[in-house]
Structure 1
Amino acid sequence: MQNVKNIGLMAFLALVITVLSACQSEKEYYIFTSFREPADEGLYLAYSEDGYNWKDLGGPYLPPVVGESKIMRDPSVVKGPDGTYHMVWTTDWRGGNGFGYASTKDFINWSEQQFIPVMDHEPDVVNVWAPEIYYDDVKERYIIIWASTIPYRFEKGEEEEKNNHRMYYTTTKDFKTFTDTELFIDPGFSVIDAVIVKRGIEDYALVLKDNTRPNRNLKVAFGGSPLGPFDDISEPYTDFLTEGPTVIKEDGKWIIYYDSYGSKTYEAVATENFESFTNIADQVSLPEGHKHGTISTISEDVLEKLKAEAKKK
């Protein structure tokens, strides 16, 4: 009987060791996409263990080859359910009618770059800025949103006609076929740099930039689905001349990183409810020159490969 108990105990301990080993091997790190001005080199990366302190992985990892200007600004990445990372980016400051797209498993080896002409049906479109990609786990699809200006389409307030942005969207399941472009949000003012955040079941926040001349700061709106409608737009919670938000959840709080281009710093605020915000710029550190991007997660194996690749650059 004692031998049976010992065998049972040994089997249990072996199972515990196996589970602990699996947990250790599955440790993940944050990865932050970025670019460097003048945005003609391509993708830059940084990583973090805690979501606050970021170490440079250098670049470029993906020199841009699509779009009229062949630049890469605002690289936005999301990890799909199969572990593939899908990335979109701004290809033209002015004049383009679409955005760039590529996919990868490790941020080193990439698919062929594509140009997705989502606004080719609008001959007067001025720009396609800061596409942001989001995976909708409810409907198992990817949602891509971006800012475009179509002169004389909307009330402009104080804005010039060529700087009066609204947000648009398309969806896809395979990055081969895309739904027709539709208006995503018209808040009644020029809006860019929007980010969809899932807070709970049928509970979403939309972090956005009020791009009107007197504001140019960040606000938040709320909706019951990732496509909205988004209402109850908040007062600004960042300073004048701030943009490019991205959001993670760490230590039970949401951390919103953003580019404070007025002060030439990268900053962050923390919130538990998207109603009150605390500036935590003194708690975060990022590589010099870091610009507008998004955050995902990578395995330790991928990180080690990226560290080795960074040494070659």
Structure 2
Amino acid sequence: MMRPLALLLTVVLLALLACATPARAAQDDVYLFTSFRGNGEDGLRYAYSTDGYHWKEVAGTFLKPSVGSGILRDPSLARGPDGRFHLVWTTAWKGDNGFGHAVSDDLIHWGPQQFVPAMEHEPTTVNVWAPELFYDAPHRRFIILWASTIPGRFPDHLEESTNNHRMYYATTSDFQEFAPTKLYLDPDFSVIDCTIVARDDDYVLVLKDNTRPQRNLRVAFGESPLGPWRDISKPFTAKLTEGPTVLRVGDAWLIYYDSYGDGSYGAMRTRDFRTFTDVSDEIEVPAGHKHGTICPITHDELNALLAASPAAAAQDDHDATQAKESP
């Protein structure tokens, strides 16, 4: 019989690995998709799925933004080694030199919000967009990626100097102390919205080419989650697509993305990140859903979320009123 301590460590490790790599739910798990609406003023939203294709909204918002310029866009969620959930997000279109961060035990109650001034050492930084969390289990650290523009730092090519992004990163084990910010990716074009995929023997980086007229998604390959990245592919989505997130369903990977050009949501299916099949007509996402990340959670965690939503509270109030009015 497994000793209690060993059993506890096994459970924590399995939970950690579930969100440390792109989402792949265990048999008893479901998928949670972080989201926002509009410009991000109202806060963190969720959708959930039991099959990875069909998503239902969890009614209401679960974290109101209060740091930086006061918006919450591009929410990225990951589970840490202690089983707690970490969230990072974009706090402003322009002007902020960092990103938001908060921690939760249950996805409902969030601790104090933290502003992480990751680009304060670069005073001309225009923006800090779409921070993305990845837990690097072998090194027991979080990697946070984001896109920033530093005017004049790189050749402009087709983009203005104030819209010429490169990817940067920092690492931390506790979100109190951070390693110095470093350049993560310079593919010789404006790049944003990167997400890391851990495979058995290597890593894949899904990225957005943000140059005109492309504005679409590509992939690259590497031996480490920090790169270097090689063999950047041709675009595999239409123009005006962004915000990729990746999950494993069966023996295939699904890459979800925001098709903001036509206001829809899309998905590509791949088994090797070399060939892609458009499965956008096979997915269902809530109206107004905007891009976040996907993470497996347990049914108990989902049931608690659903019970905590404003819709559930309204139904409870309705049922209580009906009970009082009954003869």
The CA deviation at 1:58 is 2.2
Counterpart mapping for 1:131-146 below 5 A: 131-146=131-146
The CA deviation at 1:282 is 1.0
Cα distance in 2, alignment partners of residues 58 and 230 from structure 1: 39
Cα deviations by residue, 1:113-132 (Å, 9 ceiling, x for unpaired): 00000000101000000000
The CA deviation at 1:175 is 0.8
Cα distance in 1, alignment partners of residues 81 and 282 from structure 2: 32
The CA deviation at 1:79 is 1.1
Cα deviations by residue, 1:165-191 (Å, 9 ceiling, x for unpaired): 000000000111000000000000000
Cα deviations by residue, 1:229-278 (Å, 9 ceiling, x for unpaired): 00110000000100000000111101000000001001100000000000
The CA deviation at 1:309 is 1.4
Cα distance in 2, alignment partners of residues 43 and 94 from structure 1: 20
Partner residue of 2:285? 286
Q: What residue identity is the alignment partner of 1:244?
A: G
Partner residue of 2:298? 299
The CA deviation at 1:298 is 1.2
Identity of aligned residues (%): 57
Q: What residue identity is the alignment partner of 1:34?
A: S
Q: 2:199 aligns to what SS in structure 1?
A: strand
Partner residue of 1:230? 229
Q: What residue identity is the alignment partner of 2:265?
A: Y
Cα deviations by residue, 1:4-59 (Å, 9 ceiling, x for unpaired): xxxxxxxxxxxxxxxxxxxxx98211000000012111000001101110010022
In the alignment, structure 1 segments of 5+ residues that lack a partner are 1-24
Cα distance in 2, alignment partners of residues 268 and 312 from structure 1: 33
Partner residue of 1:38? 39
Partner residue of 2:269? 270
Cα distance in 1, alignment partners of residues 60 and 172 from structure 2: 29
The CA deviation at 1:214 is 1.1
**Is the 1:167–1:183 Cα contact (8 Å) retained in structure 2?**
yes
Q: What residue identity is the alignment partner of 1:249?
A: R
Partner residue of 1:182? 182
Partner residue of 1:54? 55
Partner residue of 1:88? 88
Cα distance in 2, alignment partners of residues 112 and 246 from structure 1: 26
Number of residue equivalences: 287
Cα distance in 2, alignment partners of residues 188 and 279 from structure 1: 28
Q: What residue identity is the alignment partner of 1:117?
A: P
Cα distance in 2, alignment partners of residues 200 and 99 from structure 1: 31
Q: Does 2:307 correspond to 1:308?
A: yes
Q: CA RMSD in A?
A: 1.2
Q: What residue identity is the alignment partner of 1:220?
A: V
Cα deviations by residue, 1:111-170 (Å, 9 ceiling, x for unpaired): 110000000010100000000000011111100000000000001101000000000000
**Is the 1:42–1:59 Cα contact (8 Å) retained in structure 2?**
no
In the alignment, structure 2 segments of 5+ residues that lack a partner are 1-25, 315-327
Q: What residue identity is the alignment partner of 2:263?
A: K
Counterpart mapping for 1:113-132 below 5 A: 113-132=113-132
Q: What residue identity is the alignment partner of 2:98?
A: G
Cα distance in 1, alignment partners of residues 268 and 262 from structure 2: 16
Cα distance in 1, alignment partners of residues 137 and 248 from structure 2: 17
TM-score w.r.t. the length of structure 1 is 0.90
Q: What residue identity is the alignment partner of 2:140?
A: E
Larger radius of gyration, structure 1 or 2? 1
Q: 1:200 aligns to what SS in structure 2?
A: coil
TM-score w.r.t. the length of structure 2 is 0.86
Partner residue of 1:65? 66
Counterpart mapping for 1:239-250 below 5 A: 239-250=238-249
Cα distance in 1, alignment partners of residues 27 and 304 from structure 2: 15
Q: 1:60 aligns to what SS in structure 2?
A: coil
Partner residue of 1:206? 205
